């Protein structure tokens, strides 16, 4: 009997718990809210907002304001200096440095012991539970897991306190037994220089029996490319014949799928998307035939949602999970056992099902283009690019887009900077296909493109090889969980990249 067959039984009870998501979501979320407010009632924040008097969701919504990072920043900084019982009980010693912001300032997201165990590690275990449920012939635990991580550093002068990429915090605190099946070695996984790390990971894993890989698609692809360079092989299964799954998250997989499918041609390869962020672990693709993800509702995360058509309003409607509608674009608001209270995470989602609650990530509250009323979101961009690639045989590696507000001829348009791994034979045709598809899937964009009155045909600028990596490196954000902002109303990022191009 294989090790996987033995271990599989340990996940059966959790698989049954997840089945309760179908009809018990509201009850599970109310239980979560009760746990959060009860646990934090004696913190500074809990006393200030009278958590002891919160008996219902309505009480909670009335007592506590909606927060961005700026509202919690001062409290978080005090926590980083060692103060106890501020936003969450006790002393929080780990802080995930997040690049999920459009400016150069970093956000430091508290990761409490409760959050680490009951949100982040719980999510990782459930990914395995659902994968094994869907793949009864899996040999996942009969080989090694290649897990990409970032790096961390001491937090101020607080003893045993760390700040860095969430992935590094997870690796630093992982159960020692997990290191028996994980590669690379811990010292390599936590290196800060991604270019050195990439080479060392490739060399350390060449002769290992790797059955599964986990990480951000862009950075994992860079590591796998180095593996191929060192081995001279054409396909990854020639190096790791038992590789069976890529657990991916952090950025949309669509631009990378074709490259992975060319690199890994084995019919036994699987891909499973996760929605894990510095702020929490929120979703898992539980059905391989469905691109949407299951919202994980019993982790110590309470969810609320703001309809995006009201997001800019002074007093927008805010609804709990059980009041969402399918097909509507929402900004996600979370309260967690890490001390984030009614926190606008910055991601937007749309629900595809409410029994159970399943969703797709549609973009960011700040990563969209709405310079002319076109409301172009990342989900539109991904679908448009996928269509243009499918029609032309092109492959997109990285991209970003921003508006040209008015050129020398008083013309306005969207400008796309795209790094192709396989260029289209006719770039103009690619641009037209993308432009037409965006009009087809976004009525606001279509209206603004009508007769070229408001918006002219989009423009594509071809990026040189490694432009985006070089830009990230120039900002000290190469590797880890850092990502390229896809869409922006501002030209700040794209203008810097164009200068480097």
Q: Report which of 256, 11, 296, 5 is spatially closest to residue 129, judged by C-alpha positions.
A: 11
What is the CATH classification number for the domain harbouring 179? 3.40.50
Q: Is the CB of residue 371 less than 8 Å from the CB of residue 73?
A: no
125, 274: one domain? yes
Domain end residue (candidates: 256, 284, 312)? 284
- Residue 358, domain member (yes or no): no
Q: Is the CB of residue 488 less than 8 Å from the CB of residue 367?
A: yes
275, 381: one domain? no
Predicted confidence at residue 425, as pLDDT, reads 96
Q: Which residues contact 453 (CB under 8 A, 6 or more apart)?
A: none
264, 373: one domain? no
How many contiguous H segments (helices) and E segments (strands) does the chain have? 18, 21
- Residue 234, domain member (yes or no): yes
Q: Report which of 338, 280, 327, 304 is spatially closest to residue 43, judged by C-alpha positions.
A: 338
- Respond yes or no on whether the N-terminal peptide bond of residue 372 is cis (omega within 30° of 0): no
- Residue 481, domain member (yes or no): yes
Predicted confidence at residue 153, as pLDDT, reads 86
> 463: which DSSP letter?
P
Strand partners, 164: 96, 152
Domain count, the chain: 2
- Residue 34, domain member (yes or no): no
243, 388: one domain? no
246, 387: one domain? no
* Four-residue CA torsion sign, 353, 356, 362, 365: positive
265, 396: one domain? no
Tokens of 298: 């019993």
Tokens of 94: 């780990």
Per-residue pLDDT of the chain (501 residues; tens, 9 = 90+): 788 988 899 999 999 999 989 989 999 999 999 999 999 999 999 999 999 999 999 999 999 999 999 899 999 999 999 999 999 999 999 999 875 443 335 789 999 999 999 999 999 999 999 999 999 999 999 999 999 888 888 888 888 888 988 888 998 888 877 778 899 998 998 888 888 999 999 999 999 999 999 998 878 988 999 999 999 999 999 999 999 999 999 777 877 788 899 999 999 999 999 999 899 999 999 999 999 999 999 999 999 999 998 988 889 999 999 999 999 999 999 999 999 999 999 889 999 999 999 999 987 777 788 777 787 888 899 999 999 999 999 999 999 999 987 665 657 899 999 999 999 999 999 999 999 999 998 877 887 887 887 789 999 999 999 999 999 988 877 766 667 889 988 898 999 999 999
Q: Is the CB of residue 276 less than 8 Å from the CB of residue 216?
A: no
262, 404: one domain? no
Domain end residue (candidates: 284, 308, 340)? 284
> 326: which DSSP letter?
B
Predicted confidence at residue 98, as pLDDT, reads 75
Token match 């020692």: residue? 176
122, 249: one domain? yes
What's the rounded Cα separation, in Å, for the pair 148 and 14?
26
128, 222: one domain? yes
Output the CA angle 170-475-203, nearest 5 degrees.
Answer: 55
Q: How far is CA 56 from CA 137, 300, 316, 335, 463, in A?
A: 45, 16, 20, 15, 53
What's the rounded Cα separation, in Å, for the pair 327 and 118?
30
- Residue 402, domain member (yes or no): yes
- Residue 467, domain member (yes or no): yes
Domain end residue (candidates: 226, 254, 284)? 284
| Number of neighbours of residue 379 by Cβ within 10 angstroms | 21
Q: Note the pTM of the prediction, 2 decimals.
A: 0.81
- Structural domain boundaries, residue 275: 115-284
User: Residue 112: CA atoms inside 13 Å, Cβ hemisphere, count?
Assistant: 24
Q: Which residues contact 159 (CB under 8 A, 6 or more apart)?
A: none
- Residue 59, domain member (yes or no): no
Q: Which residues contact 338 (CB under 8 A, 6 or more apart)?
A: 88, 92, 109, 110, 111, 112, 114, 115, 119, 279, 280
What's the rounded Cα separation, in Å, for the pair 336 and 341?
7
Q: Is the CB of residue 460 less than 8 Å from the CB of residue 401?
A: no
* End-to-end CA separation in angstroms for the chain: 55
User: Residue 499: CA atoms inside 13 Å, Cβ hemisphere, count?
Assistant: 7
Q: Is the CB of residue 386 less than 8 Å from the CB of residue 402?
A: no
274, 375: one domain? no
What's the rounded Cα separation, in Å, for the pair 309 and 314?
12
Tokens of 263: 């690199």
251, 396: one domain? no
132, 271: one domain? yes
- Residue 29, domain member (yes or no): no
């Amino acid at each position: 009997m294989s090790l996987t067959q033995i271990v599989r039984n340990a996940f059966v009870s959790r698989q049954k718990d997840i089945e309760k998501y179908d009809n018990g979501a509201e009850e599970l979320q109310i239980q979560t809210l009760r746990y959060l407010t009860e646990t934090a009632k004696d913190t500074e924040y809990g006393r200030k907002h009278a958590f002891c008097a919160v008996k219902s969701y309505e009480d909670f919504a009335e007592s506590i304001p909606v927060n961005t990072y700026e509202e919690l920043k001062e409290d978080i900084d005090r926590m980083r200096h060692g103060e106890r019982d501020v936003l969450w009980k006790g002393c929080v010693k780990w802080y995930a440095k997040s690049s999920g912001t459009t400016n150069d300032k970093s956000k430091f997201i508290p990761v409490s012991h409760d959050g680490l165990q009951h949100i982040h590690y719980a999510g990782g275990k459930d990914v395995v539970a659902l994968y094994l449920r869907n793949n009864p012939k899996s040999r996942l635990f009969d080989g090694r897991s290649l897990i990409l991580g970032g790096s961390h550093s001491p937090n101020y002068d607080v003893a045993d306190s760390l700040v860095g990429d969430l992935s590094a915090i997870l690796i630093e605190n992982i159960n020692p037994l997990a290191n028996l099946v994980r590669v690379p070695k811990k010292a390599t996984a936590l290196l800060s220089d991604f270019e050195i790390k990439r080479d060392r990971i490739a060399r350390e894993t060449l002769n290992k029996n790797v059955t599964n890989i986990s990480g951000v698609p862009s950075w994992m692809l860079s590591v796998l490319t180095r593996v191929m360079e060192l081995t001279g092989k054409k396909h990854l299964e020639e190096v790791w014949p038992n590789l069976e799954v890529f657990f991916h998250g952090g950025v949309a997989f669509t631009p990378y799928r074709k490259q992975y499918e060319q690199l890994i041609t084995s019919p036994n390869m699987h891909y499973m998307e996760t929605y894990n962020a510095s702020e929490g672990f929120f979703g898992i693709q539980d059905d391989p035939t469905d691109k949407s993800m299951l919202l994980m509702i019993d982790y110590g995360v309470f969810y609320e949602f703001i309809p995006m058509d009201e997001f800019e309003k002074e007093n927008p409607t805010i609804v709990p999970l059980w009041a969402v509608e399918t097909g509507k674009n929402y900004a996600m608001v979370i309260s967690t056992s890490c001390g984030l209270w009614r926190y606008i995470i910055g991601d937007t989602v749309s629900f595809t099902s409410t029994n159970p609650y399943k969703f797709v990530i549609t973009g960011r509250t700040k990563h969209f283009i709405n310079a002319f009323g076109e409301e172009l979101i990342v989900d539109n961009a991904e679908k448009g690019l996928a269509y243009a690639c499918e029609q032309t045989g092109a492959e997109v590696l990285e991209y970003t887009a921003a508006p040209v507000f008015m050129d020398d001829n008083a013309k306005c348009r969207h400008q796309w900077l795209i790094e192709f791994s396989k260029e289209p034979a006719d770039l103009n045709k690619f641009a037209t296909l993308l432009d037409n598809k965006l009009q087809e899937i976004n009525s606001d964009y279509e209206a603004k493109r009508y007769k070229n009155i408001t918006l002219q045909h989009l423009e594509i600028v071809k990026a040189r090889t490694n432009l985006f990596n070089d830009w990230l490196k120039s900002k000290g954000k190469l590797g880890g969980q850092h990502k390229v902002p896809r869409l922006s109303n501002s030209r700040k990022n794209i203008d810097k990249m164009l200068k480097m191009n």
